[in-house]
């Protein structure tokens, strides 16, 4: 091993280093190699001098930062490093089994084997010294203990020729520190809001995400959000934890850096005569120790004696600015991020009022603020400025200058999407006459109510920060998009629609958006969130979940569709219409949806209508409805992802329709119940179409062409290659993308044992991040998946989040518990230095995964009400949902003894005192006392959860009795071609079959134009083509939408050789796009 004081990578989280984030720091560079076990004294100039000779005091913690470099062989050998202390009694820290803040053994071997250190990033290691109080530190050592059989052994190229072994690859990294100090006291246990650090996840960038969050201060699901800005000219990475120059406080509406921000307004104090307001000139250094970043308050002390504090309301905020004495004139800059804004501040010298507007504009060719219309702002500044002018330098903002001696400036800011009149009304409702502390207290009370739904008395400090930080992220989104046009006592919700066309041009005082009554919610990507965020809402906030869901159904009422990614309107982004399964699951779990019929209709439209534009609905629906999958030659990318997501959604809609059918039957609406039962049966059967994409040769789901052939020959298919037919991953992760039917998935693989083997192979096949596939570059999801170090299990992104729980369906639920515990232990770390997540924290989903699994629950089969059970993280957790009965979950070892760290297998379970052998629990059963017994090894507990496909059976996709015929518009599997007749009645003779066959469903697809839909008909069958028998008859039918495929379960099915459709009545001359007889 070689130690060298050297310039280290930028961005060290070393405390109290104002303004140095982009400057290289001097740290110790260590170099080692595989198989080396060595130690050396840490050079004094590299940090040892600061603690050598110190006597360890009570409460002190040894802390250092380490930046291991990932070697080309991907061995992670550089992570086998630690600091050791030589003490005055001759002993060493390493002899006392030191533990880091996450419980890992804090030795070189311990940290390396724990795999808790990320490569190519700074890691924060904190070691408690309770057993060493009173001992004097004589020397600081750097220790390496790199095994020979490191992880690179897993990455040998099987195609390489045998030959002489290569020399060991050099391994290196940097250590910054150490320090010895008593850490700040933990917040009070009774104040969950104080445990939230909103900066968690902000040590992120385009290349690698540890959350990709912003330190947002706002109300739960708030309309207006606020963030400090280390870059006031971007719409994407506005605040990055490793940058410690602040350029302002910004109004933000960013749901994700990948969607970008909109309606940004920046506030920043300035000092001196005619100050340059350019971001680089005005920025001020700060330290994270001088920040308070909480949901209810953001505060910072800046270089030069400037202070800023902000507390939020729903549509605005109160901001207090402290100016230093003897610093010359003080000013306040108000600006948009570009020229697409206008602020009228001239009158502020009289009454302190500033008003204006902000439009959203594209940046860097990346514009996904679809549906954003003009935002209006109204600010009251106290005291009033004595002068207002245009900002100097690279800023188009306004500078408000204050009288000499002004030490505090208060800004009350209100926003509206409707106009200045509404901004005035909102100001009066939320801000007029209120102090920052009054506003903060209200925000604190609202956040306390949301966060106190979970209480884990025995949680460690990092676990508690993760617990309440995750609840904060879950409750931050989706965002309110509505405003109160009434009073505080009589609320009149109204919103500027982001999904309807605008009318004319917006003015300085009024929007050009359609103003619509009702509540709407936005800023949400359902592909990301459906797996865990919405189930978490259902579990913890059922009444809120109902309101949030209906806020998206409002998009359907207005624009005809629910956005796949709402930011705030319809964005052509991501695969699947996953609001379908999210909201169906709410209904199955008894969430009181305000309008279940409209909720269902929104999903049904997604499932059965070819969308008119790519921003809405399911791409490829013109043909996929008939083929059962999106074809690779259908001019739709990511075809496998689109297909498999559709089948998951269909399963949920089927469950929703079945519940609505029961309700209709109870209400005496027999016809409605009959239609819903037919749609439920059709969609449930269609959800098995995932099997159509399974290739038995390669044992992967693969893209197929429209002619049914797989798009890539089996011998050329590479499951490690990213992109192509798969969204943000590869064929391995999508090999298990049928969570709604795990038994059917197992059957495709040859049975439960074969599926288990495939899952184990998945976990044993390393991710190299070197198969870019159809991506132009190595995307961040690739390197994040590699950093997980669990084979192909790329937990850093959502498509992998369900996969561990498939072990329940092969009789091995203990494997799911082991995987989950490893993820919890080592991937949600670094929250105290702006990390905390292993990938993008998308609108609460990554947080919700942690929350649910910490409770020992995972909703694998959405739309069933079942949670798959894994070992809970906490010994005791009390769950107190808002709007439903709570429960208390306890976990212990055998005989009631405390569970040890190795006890991660469920060996028994009692629900309200009754023994349960099931490896799952129903949503309705989560009440009262639930007790879980844990052990280091599994017993015989845990029966396999049920699936739609029966054990031992294969999934049965739907198939059309008639082969696609391009010459017949009615039978060509394409909704874009139509049969057009001149009469309203007709007898449509269908092709003779080769042998008698029995159909289960008739489907008819309406045309692109209105006026020709069939109203009444008979489906007839015959053995000889002469004598006809009615198989099904319908009357008074209607098609709600264009190019809609309606299913009809055949009333009297029997095998027939001949079929015909006798249309007796239509709206006009008959027009039909497609007809199917499905078996």
pLDDT in tens, 983-995: 999 999 999 999 9
Largest CA distance in the chain: 105
pLDDT for residue 168: 63
In contact, 97 and 39? CB cutoff 8 Å = no
> Residue 10 in contact with residue 21, Cβ under 8 Å?
yes
The C-alpha atoms of residue 281 and residue 248 are separated, in whole angstroms, by 12
Q: Residue ranges of the alpha helices (H) in 477-540?
A: 526-529, 533-540
What is the CATH class of 979-1078?
Answer: mainly beta
Report the C-alpha gap between 714 and 695 in whole angstroms.
8
Identical fold at 2-157+167-181 and 979-1078? yes
Q: Which residues pair with 245 in a beta bridge?
A: 285
Give 685's Cβ-side CA count (13 Å radius). Answer: 19
Q: Report pLDDT digits (tens) over 567-602.
A: 999 999 999 999 999 999 999 999 999 999 999 999
For residue 399 the two structure tokens come to: 């500078």
pLDDT digits (tens, 9 = 90+) for 195-250: 999 999 999 999 999 999 999 999 999 999 999 999 999 999 999 999 989 999 99
Rg of the Cα atoms in the chain: 31
464-482+519-858 belongs to which CATH class? mainly alpha
Average pLDDT, the chain: 95
**Residue 1057 in contact with residue 995, Cβ under 8 Å?**
yes
Fold of 2-157+167-181: Jelly Rolls (2.60.120)
Cβ atoms 824, 809 nearer than 8 A = no
Beta bridge partners of 879: 454, 887
Coil, strand or helix at 931: strand
Residue 387 · residue 330 · CB < 8 Å: no
pLDDT of 830 reads 96
Domain boundaries, the chain: 2-157+167-181, 193-452, 464-482+519-858, 979-1078
Q: Among residues 226, 359, 1001, 280, which one has the least CA distance to residue 625? A: 1001
Least Cα distance to 484 among 313, 627, 351, 610 occurs for 313
Sheet holding 920-922, edge to edge: 857-858, 866-869, 920-922
Give 366's DSSP letter.
Answer: B
Residue 25: the pLDDT is 73
Report which DSSP code applies to 729: S
Give me 181's structure tokens: 């100090």
Give the model's confidence band at 23: pLDDT under 50 very low, under 70 low, under 90 confident, else very high: low
Instruction: For residue range 679-689, list pLDDT tens digits in order.
Output: 999 999 999 99
Cis? peptide before 586, omega within 30° of 0: no
Cα atoms found within 13 Å of the Cα of residue 32, Cβ hemisphere only: 30
Distance CA 402, CA 399 (A): 10
The pLDDT value given to residue 8:
85
Kindly report, residue by residue over 445-481, the tens digit of the pLDDT.
999 999 999 999 999 999 999 999 999 999 999 999 9
The first and second tokens of residue 161, run together, are 């020729």
State the pLDDT at residue 20.
42
| 872-876 CB contacts, 8 Å cutoff, 24+ apart | 872/932, 873/456, 873/463, 873/821, 873/824, 874/456, 874/458, 874/459, 874/463, 875/458, 875/899, 876/456, 876/457, 876/458
Cα distance between residue 438 and residue 956, in whole Å? 62
Specify the pLDDT at position 166.
60
- CATH 3.30.565.10 assigned to domain 193-452? The reply is no
Grade residue 362 by pLDDT with cuts at 50, 70 and 90: low
pLDDT band at 164 (very low <50, low <70, confident <90, very high): low
Please give the helix or strand (H or E) that residue 914 lies within, else none.
strand 914-915
Q: What is the pLDDT of residues 1008-1047, one digit of tens each?
A: 999 999 999 999 999 999 999 999 999 999 999 999 999 9
> What number of H helices and E strands is found in the chain?
19, 51
Contacts of 96-102 with C-beta under 8 Å, sequence gap 24+, read 96/131, 96/132, 98/127, 98/128, 98/129, 99/127, 99/128, 100/125, 100/126, 100/127, 101/125, 101/126, 101/127, 101/128, 101/460, 101/461, 101/462, 102/462, 102/825, 102/826, 102/829
Tokens found for residue 1051: 């009333």
Confidence at residue 14, expressed as pLDDT on a 0 to 100 scale: 72
Does position 155 have pLDDT exceeding 60, yes or no?
no
- Integer Cα distance of 414 and 422 in angstroms: 9
CB 589 within 8 A of CB 865: yes
Residue recorded with tokens 């050998």: 77
Question: If you write DSSP's letter for every residue of 944-984 in order, what string do you get?
Answer: PPP-SSPTTPPP----BSS---TT-TTSSS-TTS-EE-SSS
Is residue 46 very low, low, confident or very high in pLDDT (cuts 50, 70, 90)?
A: confident
Give me the helix-helix angle, 742-749 and 752-764, nearest 10°: 90
Angle of helix 533-540 relative to helix 461-476, nearest 10 degrees?
100
Cα dihedral sign, 1061-1065-1069-1072: negative
């Amino acid at each position: 091993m070689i130690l060298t004081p050297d310039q280290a990578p930028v961005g060290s989280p070393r405390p109290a280093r104002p303004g140095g984030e982009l400057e290289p720091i001097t740290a110790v560079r260590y170099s080692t190699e595989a198989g080396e076990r060595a130690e050396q004294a840490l050079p004094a100039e590299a940090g040892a001098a600061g603690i050598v000779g110190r006597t360890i005091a009570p409460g002190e913690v040894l802390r250092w930062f380490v930046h291991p470099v990932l070697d080309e062989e991907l061995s992670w050998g550089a992570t086998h490093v630690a600091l050791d202390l030589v003490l005055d009694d001759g002993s060493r820290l390493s002899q006392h089994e030191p533990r880091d803040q996450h419980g890992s053994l804090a030795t070189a071997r311990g940290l390396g084997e724990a795999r808790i250190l990320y490569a190519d990033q700074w890691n924060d290691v904190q070691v408690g010294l309770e057993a060493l109080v009173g001992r004097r530190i004589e020397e600081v050592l750097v220790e390496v203990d790199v095994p020979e059989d490191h992880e690179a052994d897993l990455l040998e190229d099987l195609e390489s020729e045998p030959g002489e072994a290569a020399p060991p690859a050099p391994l290196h990294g940097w250590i910054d520190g150490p320090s010895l100090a008593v850490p700040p006291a933990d917040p009070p246990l009774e104040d969950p809001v104080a445990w939230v650090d909103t900066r968690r996840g902000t040590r992120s960038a385009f290349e690698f995400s540890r959350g990709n969050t912003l330190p947002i201060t706002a109300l739960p699901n708030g309309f207006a959000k606020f963030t400090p800005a280390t870059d006031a000219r971007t719409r994407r990475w506005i605040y990055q934890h490793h940058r410690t120059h602040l350029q302002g406080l910004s109004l933000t509406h960013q749901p994700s850096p990948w969607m970008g921000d909109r309606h940004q307004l920046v506030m920043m104090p300035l000092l001196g005569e005619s100050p340059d307001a350019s971001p680089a000139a005005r920025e001020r250094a700060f330290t994270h120790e001088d920040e308070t970043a909480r949901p209810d308050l953001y505060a910072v002390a800046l270089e030069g004696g400037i202070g800023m504090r902000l507390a939020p309301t729903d549509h605005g905020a109160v901001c207090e600015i402290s100016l230093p004495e003897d610093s010359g004139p003080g000013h306040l800059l108000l600006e948009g991020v570009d020229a697409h804004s206008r602020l009228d501040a001239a009158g502020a010298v009289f009454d302190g009022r500033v008003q204006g507007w902000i439009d959203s504009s594209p940046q860097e060719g990346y514009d996904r603020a679809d549906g954003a219309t003009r935002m209006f702002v109204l600010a009251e500044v106290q005291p009033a400025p004595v002068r207002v002018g245009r900002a100097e330098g690279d800023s188009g903002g306004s500078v408000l200058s204050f009288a000499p001696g002004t030490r505090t400036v208060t800004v009350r800011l209100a926003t509206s999407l409707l106009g200045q009149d509404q901004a005035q009304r909102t100001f009066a409702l939320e801000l007029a006459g209120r102090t920052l502390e009054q506003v903060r207290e209200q925000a604190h009370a609202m956040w306390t109510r949301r966060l106190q739904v979970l209480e884990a008395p025995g949680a460690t400090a990092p676990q508690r920060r993760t617990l309440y930080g995750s609840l904060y992220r879950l409750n931050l989104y989706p965002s309110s998009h509505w405003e109160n046009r009434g009073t505080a006592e009589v609320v009149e919700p109204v919103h500027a629609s982001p999904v309807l066309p605008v009318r004319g041009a917006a003015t300085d005082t009024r929007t050009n958006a359609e103003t619509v009554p009702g509540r709407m919610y936005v800023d949400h990507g359902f592909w990301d969130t459906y797996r865990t965020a919405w189930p978490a809402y259902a579990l913890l906030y059922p009444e809120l979940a109902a309101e949030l869901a209906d806020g998206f159904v409002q998009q359907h009422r207005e624009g005809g569709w629910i956005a796949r990614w709402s930011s705030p309107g319809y964005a052509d982004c991501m695969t699947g219409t996953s609001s379908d399964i999210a909201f169906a699951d709410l209904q199955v779990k008894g969430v009181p949806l305000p309008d279940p019929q409209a909720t269902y209709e929104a999903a049904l439209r997604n499932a059965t209508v070819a969308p008119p534009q790519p921003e809405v609905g399911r791409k490829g629906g013109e043909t996929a409805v008939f083929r059962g999958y999106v074809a690779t030659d259908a001019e739709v990318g990511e075809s496998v992802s689109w297909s498999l997501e559709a089948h998951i959604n269909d399963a949920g809609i089927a469950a929703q329709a079945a519940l609505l059918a029961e309700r209709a039957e109870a209400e005496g609406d027999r016809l409605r119940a009959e239609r819903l039962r037919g749609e439920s049966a059709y969609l449930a059967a269609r959800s098995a179409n995932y099997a159509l994409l399974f290739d038995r040769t390669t044992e992967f789901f693969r893209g197929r062409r429209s002619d049914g052939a797989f798009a890539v020959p089996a011998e050329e298919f590479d499951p490690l290659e990213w992109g192509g037919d798969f969204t943000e991953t590869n064929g391995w992760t999508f090999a298990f993308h049928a969570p709604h039917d795990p038994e059917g998935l197992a059957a495709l693989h040859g049975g439960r044992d074969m599926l288990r083997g495939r899952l184990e192979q998945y976990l044993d096949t390393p991710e190299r991040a070197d198969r870019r596939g159809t991506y132009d570059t190595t995307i961040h999801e690739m390197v994040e998946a590699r950093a997980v170090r669990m084979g192909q299990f790329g937990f850093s992104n959502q498509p992998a989040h369900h996969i561990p729980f498939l072990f329940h369906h092969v009789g091995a639920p203990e494997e799911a518990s082991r995987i989950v515990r490893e993820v919890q232990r080592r991937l949600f770390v670094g929250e105290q230095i702006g990390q905390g997540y292993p990938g993008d924290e998308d609108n609460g989903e990554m947080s919700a995964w942690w929350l649910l699994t910490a409770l020992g629950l995972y909703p694998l089969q959405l739309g069933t009400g079942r949670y798959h059970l894994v070992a809970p993280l906490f010994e005791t957790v009390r769950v107190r949902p808002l709007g439903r009965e709570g429960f208390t979950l306890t976990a212990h070892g055998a005989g009631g003894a405390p569970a040890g760290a190795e006890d991660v297998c469920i060996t028994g379970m009692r629900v309200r005192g009754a023994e349960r052998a099931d490896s799952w629990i129903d949503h309705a059963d989560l009440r009262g006392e639930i007790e879980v017994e844990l052990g280091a090894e599994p017993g015989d507990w845990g029966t396999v959860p049920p699936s739609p496909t029966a054990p031992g059976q294969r999934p049965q996709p739907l198939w059309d009795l008639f082969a696609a015929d391009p010459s017949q518009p009615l039978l060509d599997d394409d909704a874009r071609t139509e049969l057009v007749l001149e009469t309203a009645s007709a007898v449509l003779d269908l092709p003779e079959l080769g042998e008698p066959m029995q159909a289960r469903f008739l489907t008819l697809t309406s045309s692109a134009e209105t006026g020709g839909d069939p109203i009444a008909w008979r489906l007839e069958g015959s053995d000889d083509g002469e004598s006809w028998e009615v198989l099904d008859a319908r009357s008074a039918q209607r098609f709600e939408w264009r190019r809609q495929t309606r299913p009809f379960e055949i009333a009297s099915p029997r095998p027939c050789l001949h079929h015909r459709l006798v249309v007796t009545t239509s709206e006009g001359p008959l027009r039909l796009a497609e007809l199917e007889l499905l078996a």
